Structure 1
Amino acid sequence: MKNYFILILGLLTTAVFAQQPQTNGRPPVKKIKLTGTVIDQETQEVLEYATISLVNERFPDRIQGGITDSKGNFDLEVFPGKYNVTIEYIGFDKIQYDEKVLRADENLGTIALRIAAESLDEIELVGERTEVEIRLDKRIYNVGKDITVRGGSVADVLDNVPSVSVDVEGNIALRGNENVRILINGKPSGLVGLSGPQGLRSLPAESIEKVEVVTSPSARYEASGTAGILNIILKKEELEGFNGSLVVNGGLPTTFGGNASLNWRTKKVNIFSTTSVRDSESRGGGIFESENFDPLRFVNEQREYIRNRKSIFFNLGTEYNFDEKTSLTVSGFIRRSDNESNNSTEIENLNASGLIIDQFGRYQFEEELDNSQQFTANFTKKFDDKGHELVIEFQTESSAEDENDLAENTSTFNQESESLEDQKRTLLQMDYVWPINENTQFELGYRGDFSFQETDYNVFDLLDSGRTPNVQLTNFLGFTQNVNAAYTQFGQKVNKFSYLMGLRMEKTHIEIDQKTIDVFKEKEYTDWFPTLNLSYEFNEKENVTLGYSRRVRRPRSWSLNPFRSLTSLTFFRQGNPDLDPSYSNLFDLGYLKRWEKFTFNGSVYLQRATQVIERITEATGALVVVSQDPLVELPEFRSTSINLSENTRTGTEFTLTYSPKRQVRISGNFNIFNSFTQGSYNGTVLDREIVSWFARVNSSFPLPFGINTQLRGFYFGPNANAQTESKGILTFSGALNKSVFNKKGELSFSVSDILNSSRRKSITETPDFRNYTEFQWRQPTYVFTLTYRINERKMDRKRNRNGGFGGGEEGEGPDF
């Protein structure tokens, strides 16, 4: 960067001397032209913004030169003389012509720069271009040109991040643990609200800049999430002027969508927006087989689902810079989705000999309207010292979910249900960072998270006598959770050793107000969460890290509601108002080593949790009337959550990347862990131990005619909890990509679940019954995506020239 300031100063100096020539009576010296073209040696692509500098040995302070244009050309006017000419570009080896004598116009021709070997070593690639940065408390994956997620959503991006898995129902897990906290720009978001991770499908993959995988969170982060934190950082453009991208996609099963990300920036003001629309259909289904031991009987259920989802997402924000050190950013988004679902369940009642006694069905039509809106204001004040800053943030959001359900039963009365959920949330946050010196940093902050949720659930039996309220299911629940937190942390770098230690206090107040049965419960507890992260750097290419943190998992409102929620005629879910939080201690030992063409990143981890929240299934002992003529009664099953004693999870994972050349990359991620759960419920011992693993392989390579291809395979091994054991799942995906519109756009084709093998198969066994479940959330998808970039190519070059985005994002820890 110093060279560029010198270059600019030299250009200004040259301009001044040019305007005031000192001729001393002699004829003025005429300038000559120096021209040429700069390209990438390997890809033969032109390099825009490459730097050409000329230094005269007699006047070393008078640097002349310039940069290449959009076609890689340069055309400079210089005085005749002897120069040291340097052509350079960030990330490439420079080319230098020493003592070059220039007497007349000269064309240097095509100058091919070779990418620097150390630049390849500095990044680890996942998919085509997903870089990884290692920090004391996290790994940061910069989402690059991963063509398998074109036209997809945030969930598709997360499914390609090492250590992360997304199951067939869209549930997100970190190292096999689904209790992971998902943040957007370091904060909770209405996109992860009432619908859980499903709301993330409204956010296009193209809007994501990077994903932070935080397996050993520092004290700055909230303590929720016993597995750790996934922090999704959205793109923020840095180039002045107007730029952005337009994306349209379509495919099978019926899928249409598009998004526009636009940005306009001046020195004082930055205005940015993202608009996304999606219309998709997904088909799935499964089977549910139940064997009741006493008396011996069998029930088989076959379910099919057809889901249609229409959504629109709009985000608008502006950033105003009062001066170089003070800024205010305000932004907001609205999300609307209209979801329809047709579910059919065919039920067979069999005797002990396996003969069908009765057959009947249940057919459901659901319509769900989701609305979310969020407003955020951020004030940042930077002080004279680098990294010295105060950030104050306010966020408010509201979400509403209106669901209507009609269930038609072939053998008994029909049912109709209406569910209305409203959630309001306010967040106040303050972070103060004080760099005591170049290698020492102190930090403290406050966070207040206040949420209130109401659920009004009404069920009606459609009898011959009319629409009758079902008092066993109809209920109204109010849920309040307020968390006040304060933290402090201190970090220092001593030679090759770095450490960051912190302490966080969270005071939680919870109210459960079940108005239907007039039950009010109030809980309050104060917890302390220490953190420690250590790092030792052997050299620039090798380091080792050690992290410890304490985490908490708080029960959600639906797991505390004592009222029933029907899943089928014979199966219902019920909350447990006595459920307590679960606490865990996380230890993580990591190692990173880089070679010329290989990168190895591995870790060994231990997670020990107490008061573990587990979902169990039990027979209630009651019989459910599923047919009145003839009379048929089947056993009833209940699913609820309980606190077991403890769970110990130990494992190891590693990511190995091989990059023989820039356009050929292979990356593999492997994770294996042992999970041991101890506890009992109603006199039944629920101890369970299982070894599970998952592996992911990505490969990308070029094909003829400028086509790039990427293949991805993922296997999630068998898994288990207290009662249920799930079998392994194997999936494959692939994509093709080609530049169009003079490299201003891209056309891609992607296929997910090529083998149609993404199915969850599980077995639940107790002394009273055995259940087998097979479920498929969606069928394979085939999607074409067209992307058009507006000034984005120029924007990318400028980012490289500035050495990347730099700085910390919201929720990011110090860079020791």
Structure 2
Amino acid sequence: MKTIFLAAAISLACLFHPAFAQFPAGGGASQPKALPGTAGDQSPKGSAKIQGAVVDSASAKPIEFASIALYNKSTGQAVDGTVADEKGRFVLNKVVAGEFRILISFIGYQNKTIPNISLTKGQDLELGEIKLASNVKTLDEVTVTGQAALIEEKVDRLVYNAEKDIAAKGGDATDILRKVPLLTVDLDGNVSLRGSQNIRVLINNKPSTIIASSVSDALKQIPADQIKTVEVITSPSAKYDAEGSGGIINIITKKNSLQGLSLNVDTGVGNRGSLLSLNGSYRKGKAGFTLGGFGRGIYNTVTKSTLDQTSVVNGESTLTRQTGDGSSRGLFGQYNLGFDYDLAKNQSITAGVRYGVRNFITQQDLITKLMKSGTQDVTSGRNVESKNLSGTLDANIDYLHTFKPQQEWSISTLYSRNDLTNDFDADLLNGNGNLTSRQKNINKNLNQEFTLQTDYQTPIKKNQLIEFGAKGIFRQVNSDYNYLIAESTGGYFPEAGQPSGELLYHQNIAAGYSSYTYTTKKRYTLKGGLRYEHTFIDASNREGKIGIGNYGVLVPSVNASKTFKATTVKLGYNRRIQRPGLAQLNPNFNTANPQNITIGNPELRPELTNNFELGLSKTIKKTFVNATFFGRITNNAISQVRQPSDTLAGAIVTTYENIGKQHAYGVNLFANVAATSKINVGIFANAFYTTLTGQTVGENGLSQQIDNDGVNVSGGLFSQATFKNGWGAQAFAFMQGTQIQLQGKQGGFGFYTVGIKKDFKNKKGSLGLAAENFLSRRYTMRTELNSPQFDQISNVYLYNRGIRLTFTYKIGKMTMDAPRKRAKSVNNDDVKSEGGGQQQQGQGGGQPK
């Protein structure tokens, strides 16, 4: 298979290269026009060459767009120049023989001069890595350090640097993701990218089975203050898994690259949650160890709800009115042990084990009144306790061999296991509030997967890169569910007429890809690739085999960008696949609320999406502006189908079918202003027009097509400031407008937070105080659903006013040691899952290999 994809990549190279034959084959960028004394195209041309790479002296990361100026040593005049590419590489071609000096500069870094450059005719001078130090100066005992921009624009992604979020202490990953441009996070923690929840969330480029079950629950396990950056990959290349029609969100946590021993202690307490985190590391020479644990508890989370619904079954109308009072509590933990070792100068091995635990319990007291014409009204009560429990294990071993810069080979393995329990216990009450019977739904799930992949990349000449690899995923999902009933006293026994059963679902995926990147001296970049994935499915239940066929998909992708005068233009196209996740497949009847029943469909097929985008980003003095226009076309979409129950009066049953079409066209706008060196202000807005097409059951019992369309709008702003003596402040606000759904619309919501922080004088500790939604007692989300057979209006009242006090302290003394390149890790992004909320929640995504 490698031979096939290597041939495909070479074909792409032959296809793309002639189109850019007019550009020199240099690895740098266009020559600056404003260098003093630069002769530009009129300068003398020779046959010598100078090349090298610019990196950060502390992190050893490439510094893209660094300026390189070549000066004649005797005259002092600038004779040539260029700008480093996204890898920090630069090339000066056709340089005349002579004596020169080189000046390297970039905003936020100290200038560096290489004084004695002596070139002979035809010489190819390799300068290697040139390290720039951060620009640091002291003023009135306040240290000002050059920092990365809040938002960074890459060829296929947007990077949000979250390290400076002073309000993050005591929060979780959802508190950070709410502030990332292009993303929307609702009050339940469900994440959308440009209006699509068919995304994949990764942690340090790695997947986890817990995320496949629920993104919103998984994000609660990640402490916000441990997040370094968030990458939003809107146009994944062929190197990434084909899964995730909406895109990829990669959360990069803080890593320790220092020598020595350290221990960080973080704790916080608030009116709705508390946390305790201990993270230690030890590094000496070639070996490094990390050991950490994080625990977070949530409490005092109260909700109230109302439901008014009219449904028609067999010509008979039923009016349902329901009120509910609820609360939730939970304990979340994550524990990790890591090891890395440099086998040789160019070889490394990485291993790790991570265990996550989730114990999330919700309590809801429901009172339901059913009214039918010509019959007596019936009032009943139901007190329900739902348990969402899981234990997740991820273990990986990775090997990386680097032959030379940009030429490397890796082998990666990953084993993941998630034991998931999603049960409920219900007390059934009569109209007088007396207990009449008890009901229990037991739903056990086990999700296991093993992944093996290998990847290779190598440069071709100085401005081209070819990548190819293969990957296998072996996944097994087991679900066992049943219903039990009991009298008001006594033991449980199987409930007659209620569904029970099991699902055994094997899903194996074989994939291969090839990708080709071509960069010109004039800052054109073109990346094209092909990926093929074949899925093998074997599913069965108690009745026998479920007829689901195997399928293959060919996924092309093309990304192009051009940078000029601090402006970058990007154009991208990709095709993505979205496989159904456990929530959509599991045939368990979830009747925690008998008026809203959900059931999965194990016969679901994947959905395919074509994505288009055109982006423009520009830096205007101290302001960074980004605008992206996008289109998303999905056919055979996995859509929710709601219809009244023909056995339970007033109930609505929701399941999933491949019957939908979802088209979205919109724009994302973002601007960040560095008002001063200490104050940043940002504003963002997302707007898109969507059309939805699906099917439902009409009043005559036959299938009927339904359509809906409308505009979805959201936006927000944030600001951050640092002051003398270690003080800092931050504010954030977000507003989500009405969301269009296939059978109605969901109401919007708002969220805001402010925080202050005080660093101790020795920089080893800090105190923080943050408050959110403190001006209002509650927020209301109103959802309206309708079809030929029912009309439903529901309101959820959220009480999420909060305040928290945090403390952090660092123990240990470390010395700086630039990190070596570590082995790559496995990334899986091939399932769509339920995240909660009123609408279809899908998570998928892609990641490297």
- TM-score bracket relative to the smaller structure: 0.7 to 0.9
Per-residue deviation, residues 150-183 of structure 1 (Å, max 9, x unmatched) = 1112222222211111112221111111111112
Which residue, out of 384, 394, 419, partners 2:413? Answer: 394
Out of 559, 562, 565, the position equivalent to 1:536 is: 562
Q: CA deviation at 1:586?
A: 0.6
Deviations 1:542-566 (A, max 9, x none): 1111111100111123323445221
Aligned match of 1:692 in 705, 708, 712?
A: 712
Distance 1:744 1:453, change over 3 A: same
Question: 246, 258, 262: which is aligned to 2:280?
Answer: 262
Whether 1:475 aligns to 2:501 is: yes
Matched position secondary structure for 2:550: strand
**TM superposition shift of 1:805:** 9.7
Of residues 576, 584, 593 in structure 2, which corresponds to 1:568? 593
How many angstroms apart in 1 are the aligned matches of 2:334 and 2:163? Answer: 23
Separation in 2, partners of 1:805, 1:737: 33
Identity over aligned pairs, percent: 23
For residue 579 of structure 1, report the CA deviation from its aligned partner.
Answer: 2.3
Partners of 1:269 and 1:703 lie apart in 2 by 39
Larger Rg: 1
Distance 1:356 1:710 in 2: 58
Return the alpha-carbon distance in structure 1 between the equivalents of residues 608 and 243 of structure 2. 9
**Does 1:761 pair with 2:761?**
no
Give the residue type in structure 1 aligned to 2:560. Answer: L
Question: Paired residue for 2:677, among 653, 662, 667?
Answer: 662
| Residue aligning to 1:780 | 801
Distance 2:163 2:217 in 1: 23
Whole-angstrom distance in 1 between the partners of 2:805 and 2:195: 31
Using the alignment, how far apart are the partners of 2:485 and 2:559 within structure 1? 57
Q: Does structure 2 conserve the Cα–Cα contact (< 8 Å) formed by 1:361 and 1:409?
A: yes
1:345 partner amino acid: L
Cα offset for 1:765? 0.7
- State the alpha-carbon separation in 1 of the partners of residues 826 and 414 from structure 2: 15
Greater alpha carbon shift after TM alignment, 606-615 vs 772-781: 772-781
Q: In the alignment, is residue 510 of structure 1 matched against residue 534 of structure 2?
A: no
Q: Are positions 1:149 and 2:206 aligned together? A: no
In the other structure, the counterpart of 1:27 is none
Matched, 1:597 2:622: yes
Change (3 A) 1:439 1:614: same
What TM-score do you get using the length of structure 2 for normalisation? Answer: 0.76
Runs of at least 5 residues in structure 2 that lack an aligned partner in the other structure: 1-72, 74-102, 114-136, 431-435, 698-702, 828-845
Identify if the C-alpha distance between structure 1 residues 490 and 388 changes in structure 2 by more than 3 Å, giving closer, same or farther: same
3-state secondary structure, aligned to 1:240: strand
The aligned residue for residue 320 of structure 2 is 299
Structure 2 CA distance for aligned equivalents of residues 318 and 441 of structure 1: 31
What is the SS of the residue equivalent to 2:176?
helix
Residues 91 and 562 of structure 1, relative CA distance in 2, 3 Å threshold: closer
Question: Relative to 1, partners in 2 of residues 1:759 and 1:189: Cα closer, same or farther, differing over 3 Å?
Answer: farther
Judge conservation of contact 2:163–2:227 (CA < 8 Å) in 1: no
1:493 to 516, 519, 528: 519
Distance in 2 separating the partners of 1:742 and 1:111: 15
- CA spacing shift, 1:756–1:211, aligned 2, 3 Å: farther
CA distance in structure 1 between the partners assigned to 2:847 and 2:518 by the alignment? 10
2:662 and 2:693 in contact (8 A); partners too: yes
Q: Which letter does structure 2 place at the counterpart of 1:276?
A: F
Alignment of 1:199-214 (within 5 A): 199-214=218-233
Q: Does 1:646 align with 2:667?
A: no
Shift of 1:643: 2.0
Q: Deviations over 1:356-375 (max 9, x none)?
A: 93432100123443211111
Answering whether residue 605 of structure 2 is matched by residue 580 of structure 1, we say yes
Instruction: Confirm or deny that 1:613 pairs with 2:638.
Output: yes
Q: SS of 1:523's equivalent?
A: coil
1:349 and 2:370 correspond? yes
396-405 or 765-774: bigger deviation? 396-405
* Structure 1 residue 772: Cα displacement: 1.0
Residue of structure 2 equivalent to 1:338: 359
Indicate whether 1:770 and 2:791 are aligned. yes
Give unpaired runs (5+ residues) of structure 1.
1-56, 58-85, 97-109, 126-131, 625-633
Paired with 2:688 and 2:110, the residues of 1 have a C-alpha distance of 43
CA pair 741-453 structure 1, distance change in 2 beyond 3 A: farther
Find the counterpart in structure 2 of residue 434 from structure 1. 458
In structure 1, the partner of 2:771 is: 751
Cα distance between partner residues in 2 of 1:378 and 1:599: 38
2 CA distance for matches of 1:787 and 1:117? Answer: 22
Call closer, same or farther: CA 1:203–1:356 in 2, change over 3 Å: farther
Aligned match of 1:243: 262
Q: Which whole-Å deviations, capped at 9, do the CAs of 1:727-746 have from their partners, x for residues lacking one?
A: 22122111111112532211
Q: How does 1:351-500 map to 2 (within 5 A)?
A: 357-383=377-403, 385-411=404-430, 412-463=436-487, 467-470=492-495, 471-495=497-521, 496-500=523-527
The Cα of 1:486 is off from its aligned counterpart by 0.5
Equivalent-residue separation in structure 2 for 1:113 and 1:325 (angstroms): 45
Whole-angstrom distance in 2 between the partners of 1:364 and 1:152: 28
The change in CA–CA distance for 1:753 and 1:360 in structure 2 (over 3 A counts) is: same
| Mapped contact 2:546–2:603 kept (Cα < 8 A) | no
1:111 and 1:563 map into 2 onto residues whose CA distance is 64
| Structure 1 residues 330 and 611: CA distance shift in structure 2, 3 A | same
1:778 Cα offset (Å): 5.7
Q: 1:535 to 1:806 in 2, by over 3 A?
A: farther
The one-letter code matched in structure 2 to 1:274 is G
The answer to whether the Cα contact below 8 Å between 2:333 and 2:357 also exists between their aligned partners in 1 is yes
State whether residues 514 and 561 of structure 1, in contact with CA within 8 Å, keep that contact through their aligned partners in structure 2: no
Aligned length: 688
Report how far residue 481 of structure 1 moved. 1.3
| Aligned-residue CA RMSD (Å) | 3.2
Relative distance call for 1:251 and 1:204 in structure 2 (3 A) is same
Do the aligned residues in 1 keep the contact of 2:451 with 2:826 (CA within 8 Å)?
A: no
From 217, 242, 247, give the equivalent of 2:236: 217
Whether contact under 8 Å (2:695, 2:705) holds in the other structure is yes
What is the rounded CA distance, in whole Å, between the counterparts of 2:745 and 2:690 in structure 1?
Answer: 12
